[in-house]
Amino acid sequence: MLTAEQNERLTRVGPGTPMGELMRRYWHPLAPSAELSEEHPTKEVRLLGEDLVLFRSAAGKIGLIEPSCAHRKANLSYGIPEPEGIRCPYHGWLYDTDGQCVDQPSEPEGSRFKDKVKLKAYKTEELGGIIWAYMGPDPVPVLPRWDLLVWDGVEREIKMMELPCNWLQCMDNSLDPVHFEWLHNYFGSYVLGMEKPPEERAEWKARMQSEGARGRHELKVGFDRFEYGVIKRRLMEGDTEESPWWRIGHPVLFPNILRVGQDRRHGFQMRIPVDDTHTLHMTMSVLIPKPGEQAVAQDEVPFSYPAVYKDNGRVRADWVLGQDQTAWIIQGPICDRTTERLGVTDVGIILFRKILEEQMQIVADGGDPLNVHRQEKDIIYLPQEESIYPGFDEPGGPFAGQENRPPMVEAILADKVDVSFR
C-alpha cells in the first residue's frame, strides 16, 4: 500500500515530475522505422506528456520536433518533406531535423529572421527497425545495442498497441510472475472457452476445473538486481534448482522493457509512457532461423497495430499479450495503490518500487541512473533461460553454463510461506 504522494511520484511522467525526469534519461522506442514511408512521412506522437511531430525528410533523415510551426502555429504533421527537413503547409517555412528554421520564402531577400527561429527538437536514432528518441539533457547517452536489435540474419516483427492506462501497471505486471498461472492459463482458457458454441462448452468446463488448466504451479519466485535492471526467476513444480528458469531467468531492463521468449523466438515488450494515463506498448519479436535455414530477407521490419478492443468494447483477451493488456487496463487509468493489499508473491513489485525511488533520487542529485549507457558496445547479450542464440550451440547462449546463486529477493510459495529480502 502506498501513500497518495508515493503513488503520484511513481506514476506521473510529465515534464518536471521526478518520474518524468528519470524517464527522460533513457532512449525510448517511438515508432517502427517502416512507419515513416514516402506515403506517410510524418506522425503525430506524444511522449512523456509532450506532443511532438516525427518526420522523415526527403533525404531520409528523422526529425522529432514540437508540433506547431513557429509562424502561425500550423501543425507540421501536415508538412511536406524536403531534403533539408520539413516545410510548413501554410506559408512554406522550412525546418531542418534540429528544428532550425532554414527558409522563410516570403520574407525579404537577405533577411536573417529565420536564424532566430528554432523549434524544440529531440535526438533520434534508428536501430533494429525502430526509431528511438532521447528527450533528456546533454550529454546524450549511448543507445544500447541489445542483442536482438543488432543480430543479422534473423526475422523481426513489431506490434504497436496504444493503451489507456499508466505505464507502471504494465511494469508491475512484469515483476509478478505468479499472474501467469491465473491470467494466462486460467482466465485465458476461460475467455477462449466462452467463445465456443454452447454445446461444446461442457468438455471445456470440465477441463477448466482440473488442476492442469492452470499449468505448472510455482514453488518459488526470485529477483536479482543486475547492471541493466532486474532478473526474474521462477522454480516450477517438477523442476530442480538446476532448471534454467531458476538458474538463469530473464530480465526487466530498467525502467520499462521486458525481455521474453522461448526456443527460437526472442522478444522485447516495451512500455512507453505517452502521458500519465496512456502507454504505448511496442513489442519486437525476433525469430532465429533453424540450422541450415535462412531467415526471410527483410528490407524493413514489418509492423502492425493489433486491435486492443473487441467490437463490443471489451479488451481483447484471446491472446497472451491481450490478457496482460486486459489486466493493465482494468486496473483503471492510474491504479489506486493507496488501497491495494500486497501479498507474499508481490516481492518483485516491492523491489521494483524501491529501485524506482532510488533512481529518481540519483537523478535529483545530478547522477546517471541505472541502465544509462555512456560507452559504445557492439552487442549486449541478455539472459533468456531456454532460448537459442545465433552463433551458440546450447540453449541459453552465453549464459548456458551460468551457476546457480541465491536470488536477492525470494518468495517461497510452496510448503511454507516465506519471503526474504537480502
In whole angstroms, the minimum distance from the beta carbon of 306 to Fe ion comes to: 16
**Among 40, 72, 196, 314, interactor with ligand FES by CB under 6 A:** 72
> Which CA distances in Å does 398 have to 80, 148, 244, 252?
47, 14, 13, 18
Give the Cα separation of 76 and 90 in Å (integer): 9
Are 270 and 290 contacting, i.e. CB atoms less than 8 angstroms apart? no
Retrieve residue 302's grid coordinates: 514489418
Which range of residues in 10-18, 87-95, 108-116, 151-159 is near ligand FES by CB under 6 A? 87-95
In whole angstroms, the minimum distance from the beta carbon of 249 to Fe ion comes to: 15
In whole angstroms, the minimum distance from the beta carbon of 113 to ligand FES comes to: 12
Retrieve residue 346's grid coordinates: 508481490
**Among 69, 158, 252, 257, interactor with ligand FES by CB under 6 A:** 69
User: Is 78 or 319 the residue whose CB approaches ligand FES more closely?
Assistant: 78
Q: Per-residue x/- marks for ligand FES, 258-277, CB under 6 A?
A: --------------------
> Which CA distances in Å does 393 have to 156, 260, 288, 297?
21, 20, 13, 23
Are 248 and 383 contacting, i.e. CB atoms less than 8 angstroms apart? yes
User: Is 61 or 91 the residue whose CB approaches ligand FES more closely?
Assistant: 91
324 binds, among ligand FES, Fe ion, none (CB under 5 to 8 A by kind): Fe ion
User: Is 92 or 193 the residue whose CB approaches ligand FES more closely?
Assistant: 92
User: Is 276 or 324 the residue whose CB approaches Fe ion more closely?
Assistant: 324
Any residues with CB less than 8 A from the CB of 115 and at least 6 apart, and which?
101
Question: Is 347 among the residues that bind ligand FES (CB under 6 A)?
Answer: no
Any residues with CB less than 8 A from the CB of 119 and at least 6 apart, and which?
65, 66, 69, 70, 95, 99, 100, 101
Which range of residues in 66-74, 240-248, 325-333, 388-396 is near ligand FES by CB under 6 A? 66-74
In whole angstroms, the minimum distance from the beta carbon of 7 to Fe ion comes to: 22
User: Is 8 or 84 the residue whose CB approaches ligand FES more closely?
Assistant: 84
Give the Cα separation of 266 and 272 in Å (integer): 19
User: Is 93 or 132 the residue whose CB approaches ligand FES more closely?
Assistant: 93
Give the Cα separation of 361 and 22 in Å (integer): 9
Q: Per-residue x/- marks for ligand FES, 12-51, CB under 6 A?
A: ----------------------------------------
User: Is 77 or 326 the residue whose CB approaches Fe ion more closely?
Assistant: 326
Give the Cα separation of 95 and 59 in Å (integer): 13
Using CA atoms in the order 171, 177, 181, 183, what is the torsion angle rounded to 10 degrees? -10
Site for ligand FES in 89-148 (CB under 6 A): 90-93
Which range of residues in 68-76, 131-139, 185-193, 278-286 is near ligand FES by CB under 6 A? 68-76
User: Among 81, 82, 77, 79, which Cα is nearest to 91's?
Assistant: 79
Binding-residue total with ligand FES (CB under 6 A): 9
Paired strand residues for 64:
54
95 binds, among ligand FES, Fe ion, none (CB under 5 to 8 A by kind): none
Question: Is 74 among the residues that bind ligand FES (CB under 6 A)?
Answer: yes
Are 367 and 360 contacting, i.e. CB atoms less than 8 angstroms apart? no
User: Is 90 or 190 the residue whose CB approaches ligand FES more closely?
Assistant: 90
Sites of contact with Fe ion (CB under 5 A): 324
Which range of residues in 7-15, 71-79, 246-254, 263-271 is near ligand FES by CB under 6 A? 71-79
Give backbone dihedrals phi and psi of 188, rounded to 5 degrees, phi first.
Answer: -60, -45
Any residues with CB less than 8 A from the CB of 335 and at least 6 apart, and which?
7, 11, 165, 166, 168, 169, 172
204 binds, among Fe ion, ligand FES, none (CB under 5 to 8 A by kind): none
User: Is 324 or 410 the residue whose CB approaches Fe ion more closely?
Assistant: 324
**Among 31, 45, 64, 88, interactor with ligand FES by CB under 6 A:** 88
In whole angstroms, the minimum distance from the beta carbon of 65 to ligand FES comes to: 12
CA angle 276, 305, 299 (to 5 degrees): 120
In whole angstroms, the minimum distance from the beta carbon of 47 to ligand FES comes to: 23
User: Is 160 or 178 the residue whose CB approaches Fe ion more closely?
Assistant: 178
Name the residues that contact ligand FES, by CB under 6 A: 69, 71-72, 74, 88, 90-93
